[in-house]
Amino acid sequence: MLSRCEPPAPCCAGHSKTFPTDAECQSRPSSAWRLWKGSLPATSIRSALSSGHLLRLALISYPRTEAAPVSGWRSRRGSSHMAKLPPNLIRAMRNLQLRMDVEDLQSAYRASLIGLVHRESEIEDMVRAQLGLGPDDPWPDGNEEDPEDPVSLLYARAGELDAQAKRGAPMVRIAFLIALFHAWERHCNARMKTGKYLTENVNVILRGEGHSAFCDALEHLQLAANCAKHGPGRSCSSLFDKRPDLFPNAKSAEKASETTLSVDEDTLMDFFNTVLSVSR
């Protein structure tokens, strides 16, 4: 039986990679060990995986089982001799993957918003360049009574482009809200070993892990994503009953739809933070 820090033999001929010695393990706890024990800070999540500590822990922390010799690839890889990982480590690894997925979504969302802001700035630069203006020169007046006035036509075109850029932000938020729920849904389905997301089953797990305070918010995330994808129906009506503030222009559940659904910056960040909270 291997100790937690005893380096195993190479898995196959020519493979010389070894794992930490007892002295190395005793000198400082690895990130993976701290993750398993529940003391790894959120900022160290990525380094735990990229450094390979999590994989080392999975390989060296548990005894190998005695098994009959197996020839071929499985014998060389040692897959038939490894004991199953305990549920708490499997859960920690899945939570780690969820956190990484959500953090990647957040980074992509911020990059998308920066792109929209740059787009608005580019429109102004384009108009100034076509008018031969410097960055501090005053804007000339156009002749709105002349349908062929080039200045007025340029301003009208710039206004259309600016409106498109401003309409982009709500669309980006909806897109990332849907992507966020898909990441959460995929995580839950893997844990429950099912292909169908059921709110009741998810809430049982959340309550069992002390996350009952997030049950409502995660249900709202699910309903908002379904409403945005499928339009008027049960999800939109149910979300209107629970969160009418997300439908500022709808007067009743019958008017709730993907077109009246409004997800602002604060709402989307609340959903992001909720998923991150239950992944700790």
Are 69 and 141 found together in one domain? no
Which residue from 242, 241, 260 is spatially nearest to 250, judged by alpha carbons?
A: 260
Per-residue pLDDT for 128 more than 70? Answer: yes
User: Domain total for the chain?
Assistant: 2
At residue 9, the pLDDT reads: 45
For the chain, the maximum distance between any two Cα atoms, rounded to a whole number of angstroms, is 92
Q: Which residues pair with 82 in a beta bridge?
A: 64
Angle at 215 between CA 279 and CA 32, to 5 degrees: 10
Q: How far apart are CA 121 and CA 162, in angstroms?
A: 9
User: pLDDT confidence of 68, banded at 50, 70, 90?
Assistant: very low
Are 103 and 59 found together in one domain? no
Are 50 and 158 found together in one domain? no
Q: Which of 49-53, 89-93, 146-150, 260-264 has the highest mean pLDDT?
A: 260-264
Single pTM value for the model: 0.64
Full domain range(s) for residue 74 = 22-85
Mean pLDDT taken over the chain = 78
User: pLDDT confidence of 25, banded at 50, 70, 90?
Assistant: very low
Out of 85, 117, 133, pick the residue that ends a domain.
85
Out of 62, 85, 108, pick the residue that ends a domain.
85
Q: What pLDDT, in 10s, does the model give residues 154-163?
A: 999 888 888 8
Per-residue pLDDT for 84 more than 80? Answer: no
Are 176 and 259 found together in one domain? yes
